[in-house]
Structure 1
Amino acid sequence: MNAPGTGNALVTLSLAELHALARDTLRAAGLGVAHAEAIARSITRAQADECHSHGLYRLLGYVDSVRSGKAEREALPVLTRTTPVILNVDARRGFAPLAIEAGVPALIEAAQTYGIAALAIHDCYHFSALWADIEPAVEAGLAAWCFTIGQCCVAPAGGTTPLLGTNPIAFGWPGPAGRPFIFDFATSAAARGEVELKRRAGEPLPEGWAVGPDGAPTTDPAAALSGALLPFGGHKGSALSLMVELIAGPLIGDLTSRQAKAVENGDAGPPLGGELFIAMDPAMFGRDTLSQRLDDADALFALAKAQPGVRLPAERRYAARARSREGVQIPSRLLAEIHALTQGDTEGERTRR
């Protein structure tokens, strides 16, 4: 069995081996140990949940950004508080995972103390899956949202020129039964990473995902990457994408996707930008007891699942996570590219671009 977007043999690694491979590859590229460890944790979580577009594949872009000098290698994030419930982390142009690890525990504490809190991550290079960013807050019993811009490759509904990022949205609720309801999706028809995986595998895109450089609809991933992706759901997805641009950009004093593109250096890594978290403690709201309200939410989930064919968001990831305790399967071609990174071979693997 092959992983999506790969088309080659698979090699099984334990989660410990996967973490060590990611960490050691980043360290060999010159990234500081704190950042390398945080990114390795992020990549391992995504791969364990079979989120291939944000798992080990992302290591290629991280290394590109370290080698190009775009991302800071050693700078540690700084946490400050504007008010007791408005928190900020200056990532200092480092990668986001370490900044998130610095800020989310403080977000959880503030939300549990005051009922609601917000955390803005500034000047970070975000390349991870948002569900992993909010999962610690949700596991702590909070309802949480997260927003960030993405690479400027999406045209607004009715347009054909990139203006917006893939602009993902994540939401989490602390249930049912210890398996939080969490969704995370791009506001484009597909995440850019999914399109890149299709290109690597030589597979066509579904219709409606993209237009080519000439503005005409295309199913060719290469044409889509040089043209524009499209928002999901037409004007509805486009409006949500614009919302993300506003609240992860001007609201928190960070870049829009278009502004981030203007300062890019052309490597294959993540864009510069910000990230906004909002967390609320259900214990601080409502007229009924918390247990009653959580039971009501669980009943809603149960009624949805009682309908044939219904699957709750995150269920597939939880099943993958359980399987991954025995190891994860990595495409041999991807492993070869990663091993080549530690040997200084930066030209031979450029077929991934």
Structure 2
Amino acid sequence: MPDDTAPRTMSASEAEALIARVLEANRTTRDNANSVARALVAAEVDGQKGHGFARVAAYALQARSGKVDGAARPQVSQPRSALLSVDAGHGFAFPAIDLAIAELTQLAPQTGIAAAAIRRSHHCGHLGGHVEKLAEQGLAALMVANTPKAMAPWGGGRALFGTNPIAFAAPRGDAPPLVIDLSLSKVARGKVMAAAKQGQPIPEGWALDAQGRSTTDAAAALKGTMIPAGDAKGAALALIVELLAATLTGARHSDEATSFFDAEGDPPGVGQMIIAFDTTAISGADFATRIEALLAGVEDQPGARLPGSRRLSARAEVAASGLTVPAHLLSEIEALAPPGGGA
């Protein structure tokens, strides 16, 4: 008999098919399910487990309850020559981001710099994967996103900001793009959620409980607040992201958004901002030479490594050995769709 407690290994394409099938069985259209599945598996492949399999059940249940509109079709308008306005329609973020990236890839080379403001959106996962797609098209890109409240302003005790991630990518000629992706809390809240699902503790210094005490209990941390990266500086950066991703786009502020983790209440309605730069238009051929000189200065120092470089080794490992899905997550995911079932 197969061991139901053992993890299962599968290819990335098999994982995408499984996730898409589960979402289709829970009121999500095929195109949207495929977009979400690609993004979640890409995050898992890159080692960003808090944005991968751990999210599938919550996504499916939110689509089933209507907290996320699994059939939403994102709409884009162009209010200014270099500005795109994207309405995600309270659907999953990934189809809206796919649309924004496709449009920015065409627009930025015409205008030199272009932005996409996304509103009425949802959890956007691993930001580095999104900006990397633009860098693969020869564009530098910056992306910010707000998330439901999880972090207090520095010196305060009540959650007001989300973990509000920020990512940047730049093209590198023959080398894979430089990708920098970070949460403005000490760690992404998804890592705490993943630990809570496994019943594992978290390291000291990641979070505070609801009474403002440092905790290693992941479940208590989810009821409390995250500690900002860089203390006061991280909290200030979270405010900047809040202004760019929510105030400016017309999305809900973090303290107005409902949770990404459950199927209760209204849609989160958060926002994202993506800015793409045509490096050739701005600096000509100099950019390609200058970025390599700068990055060589990093790599030449013993012990130093480029941000985001671990994703490349993680991808190679998955290509060789497949993805390992923990048994508890696989059981949780498969329970949400019958074998071979559809919408």
Calculate the TM-score normalised by the size of structure 1: 0.89
Check if 1:302 corresponds to 2:296: yes
Contact 1:58 1:127 in 2 (8 A): no
Check if 1:285 corresponds to 2:282: yes
Of the candidates 131, 146, 151, which is equivalent to residue 148 of structure 2? Answer: 151
1:176 Cα deviation from its structure 2 partner: 6.1
Check if 1:313 corresponds to 2:307: yes
- Count of residue pairs brought into register by the alignment: 334
Check if 1:89 corresponds to 2:86: yes
- In 1, the alpha carbon distance for the partners of 2:111 and 2:95 equals 25
Secondary structure at the aligned position of 1:57 is classed as helix
- Aligned residue for 1:224? 221
- Aligned residue for 1:339? 334
Check if 1:101 corresponds to 2:95: no
- Aligned residue for 1:3? none
Secondary structure at the aligned position of 1:255 is classed as coil
1:256 Cα deviation from its structure 2 partner: 0.8
Contact 1:171 1:182 in 2 (8 A): yes
- Aligned residue for 1:20? 17
- In 2, the alpha carbon distance for the partners of 1:271 and 1:151 equals 7
Check if 1:255 corresponds to 2:256: no
> C-alpha deviations, 1:95-149, integer Å up to 9, x for none?
1111111121111211111100000111111242111121211111111100111
Secondary structure at the aligned position of 1:242 is classed as helix
Contact 2:112 2:281 in 1 (8 A): yes
- In 1, the alpha carbon distance for the partners of 2:297 and 2:260 equals 48
Contact 1:61 1:269 in 2 (8 A): no
Secondary structure at the aligned position of 2:175 is classed as coil
2:62 maps to amino acid: S
Contact 1:64 1:269 in 2 (8 A): no
Q: How does 1:116-155 map to 2 (within 5 A)?
A: 116-155=113-152
- Aligned residue for 2:237? 240
1:34 maps to amino acid: D
Q: How does 1:53-68 map to 2 (within 5 A)?
A: 53-68=50-65
1:9 Cα deviation from its structure 2 partner: 3.8
2:316 maps to amino acid: A
2:249 maps to amino acid: I
- In 2, the alpha carbon distance for the partners of 1:51 and 1:270 equals 24
- In 2, the alpha carbon distance for the partners of 1:31 and 1:254 equals 23
> C-alpha deviations, 1:289-332, integer Å up to 9, x for none?
41x43122112111211212112112100111122223211112
- Aligned residue for 1:197? 194
Change (3 A) 1:55 1:264: closer
Change (3 A) 1:269 1:41: farther
1:261 Cα deviation from its structure 2 partner: 3.5
1:93 Cα deviation from its structure 2 partner: 0.9
- In 1, the alpha carbon distance for the partners of 2:20 and 2:257 equals 27
Secondary structure at the aligned position of 2:53 is classed as coil
- In 1, the alpha carbon distance for the partners of 2:7 and 2:190 equals 20
Structure 2, unmatched stretches of 5+, are none
- Aligned residue for 1:330? 325
Q: Name whichever of 266-275 and 131-140 sits farther off.
A: 266-275
2:14 maps to amino acid: E
- In 1, the alpha carbon distance for the partners of 2:40 and 2:304 equals 29
1:70 Cα deviation from its structure 2 partner: 0.8
Contact 1:146 1:171 in 2 (8 A): yes
Secondary structure at the aligned position of 1:123 is classed as strand
Q: Name whichever of 257-266 and 59-68 sits farther off.
A: 257-266
- In 1, the alpha carbon distance for the partners of 2:118 and 2:216 equals 35
- Aligned residue for 1:41? 38
- In 1, the alpha carbon distance for the partners of 2:182 and 2:216 equals 21
1:222 maps to amino acid: A
1:227 Cα deviation from its structure 2 partner: 1.3
2:335 maps to amino acid: A
> C-alpha deviations, 1:34-57, integer Å up to 9, x for none?
110110111121122121111121
> C-alpha deviations, 1:134-174, integer Å up to 9, x for none?
12111111111001111211112222211110100011111
- Aligned residue for 1:115? 112
- In 1, the alpha carbon distance for the partners of 2:213 and 2:65 equals 34
Structure 1, unmatched stretches of 5+, are 1-7, 345-353
2:308 maps to amino acid: A
C-alpha RMSD of matched pairs (Å): 2.1
Check if 1:161 corresponds to 2:155: no
2:117 maps to amino acid: A
2:317 maps to amino acid: R
